[in-house]
Amino acid sequence: MCDDELIPPRADLTEKQWLRADAPLARDLADRWGPQALTLHRRTLLGGAAAGAALAVLPFGGRQATAAQGVAKFPFPDGPNQKGEFAVLVTGDAGTGGEEQLAVTEAARRVCRDEGISLAVGLGDNIYENGPESDHDSEFRTKFETPNTGIDVPWLMVLGNHDCSGLIPGSGGDPSRGDREVSYAASSPRWYMPSRYYNVTLPSSEGQGAGDDPVVEFFALDTNPVASTVAQISPHYRWDGPYMRAQRQWLDAALSASRARWKVVLGHHPYLNNGKHGSAGSYDGFVIGHYTSGIHLKELYEEVVCGRADLILSGHDHTLQVLEPTTRTAGTRQIVCGAAAKSGDGKAHFDHPAAWENFSDVGFMVLKVSERAMTVDTYTVDVPARTAHLAHTTTTSTAVAGRSSVG
């Protein structure tokens, strides 16, 4: 069974309803977790109720990691590299521990050295196929720390649907499991996830002095409660529940308050996408309901993000896509970078305008930002040779806030 390909028979089923409607899947999971898995919640089965006990609730509804004890964190950059820019490695859907991930990270290490990388981004699905079972799960080592050894910078991590699996792999049906990844940040030198959603700024080329506006600000989202393949059963994580209301209010306020030259939103599930999963509002062909289609994530992107952020960086689809900013996006460019360990099916399924796209290869991207310009370099990776090829470069010199019109 290819776990990340599981599609429910109908929109907005609970996990238990899905299993009742899909006997082969139910049998497979019973073999994997034991017969009691079909009647008990997986979190109960695996002792997850205690996970995240050391976390404190933030005023805006996220979670915050306790302070790291005895772990030296890799520092955030306090200025640009020798080329006068901040260079950021971008990966997504990486956490398999398999040959493809290892090939991509080995190739990326050489590019990181050459480009002066000082920050990295992980766009979700950090621990396949079911997310971690605790905040000290050995899979953090085998699927993140060991593969990324040598890329010794802070990694801005976001939650993907596989990180928040309930009983069904990739369902996104238990968002509370993401607290384990927040908690893990306290014991890792690389992993940065201070809460389930958060923002980070990088200073101007002159450094972060009085009166200096940041050159770039990142806004990391948790898209799972409004893009899960199943209905959420916890009132806290419902599409219209307190968690999503608080996250939306935080994002709106943070974007309004931002003084950064460039603004980049990080969210596992894309707004627009030419890969097989499709775009928010019609994920996997579903156009009804509150969850499976992603309709409320579409609303969040359109009502809060578009026209205010320069980029949306997403994974979820195991492809590499640099889509064009359009009137529909109000100048915001969608980028899909979810091929750090798995590749697509070799073809486009939709026709959103694209500067460049690849549906066959694994790879990664490098985002370069300075006061003058923002550039995205896309690399494909030859897995047997473990080498990277620069396949495409896109550069813009005008931030969304400075554009009068978009074609």
- Predicted confidence band at 5 (pLDDT cuts at 50, 70, 90)? confident
- SS3 (DSSP) at 359: coil
User: Between β-strands 56-57 and 63-64, what pairing exists: parallel, antiparallel or unpaired?
Assistant: antiparallel
Residue 104 has pLDDT above 70, yes or no: yes
344 or 206, higher pLDDT: 344
Q: How far apart are CA 40 and CA 65, in angstroms?
A: 28
- C-alpha to C-alpha distance for 72 and 237, rounded to whole angstroms: 33
Q: Mean of the pLDDT values across residues 227-244?
A: 98
Write the DSSP assignment of 116-156 as a string of letters.
TEEEEEE-S--STTT--SSTT-THHIIIIITTTTT--S-EE
pLDDT tens for 312-343 read: 999 999 999 999 999 999 999 999 999 999 99
pLDDT at 106 over 60: yes
Residues 6+ apart with CB under 8 A from 191: 140, 144, 155, 157, 181, 184, 185
Question: How many other C-beta atoms can be found within 10 angstroms of the C-beta atom of residue 291?
Answer: 29
pLDDT at 63: 44
**pLDDT per residue over 353-388, tens digit each?**
999 999 999 999 999 999 999 999 999 999 999 999
Task: Report the DSSP beta bridge partners of residue 379.
Answer: 364, 390
Report how far residue 172's alpha carbon sits from residue 220's, in angstroms, rounded to the nearest whole number: 17
Quick one: what percent of the chain has pLDDT higher than 90?
Answer: 83
Q: How would you classify the pairing of strands 191-192 and 155-157?
A: parallel
Nearest to 89 by CA among 268, 337, 341: 337
The predicted structure's pLDDT at residue 161:
98
CA separation, residue 127 to residues 38, 131, 163, 328 (Å): 23, 5, 6, 33
Helix H or strand E encompassing 157: strand 155-157
Residue 184 has a pLDDT of: 98
What is the structure's pLDDT at 221? 98
Residue 116, pLDDT above cutoff 80: yes
User: Is residue 223 within 8 Å of residue 229, measured between CB atoms?
Assistant: no
Residue 44 three-state SS: helix
* DSSP-derived 3-state class of residue 12: coil
State how far the Cα of 32 lies from the Cα of 26, in Å rounded to an integer: 10
Mean pLDDT of the chain: 90
Rounded distance between C-alpha atoms, residue 95 and residue 182, angstroms = 16
Q: What is the pLDDT of residue 229?
A: 97
pLDDT at 67: 45
pTM for the model: 0.91
pLDDT digits (tens, 9 = 90+) for 117-154: 999 999 999 999 999 999 999 999 999 999 999 999 99
- Reply yes or no on whether the pLDDT at 222 is more than 90: yes
CATH number for the domain formed by residue range(s) 56-402: 3.60.21.10
Residue 402 has pLDDT above 70, yes or no: no
Residue 176 has pLDDT above 90, yes or no: yes
Q: Which helix (H) or strand (E) holds 374?
A: strand 374-382
Work out the number of other CB atoms within 10 angstroms of the CB of residue 30: 14
Could you tell me if 271 and 336 are in contact, meaning their C-beta atoms sit under 8 angstroms apart? no
Q: What does each C-alpha distance from 229 to 226, 289, 295, 344 come to in angstroms?
A: 9, 11, 12, 19
Q: Express each pLDDT in 16-72 by its tens digit.
A: 999 999 999 999 888 887 776 666 554 444 433 333 333 333 333 444 444 445 689
Helix (H, G, I), strand (E, B), or coil: what is residue 187? helix
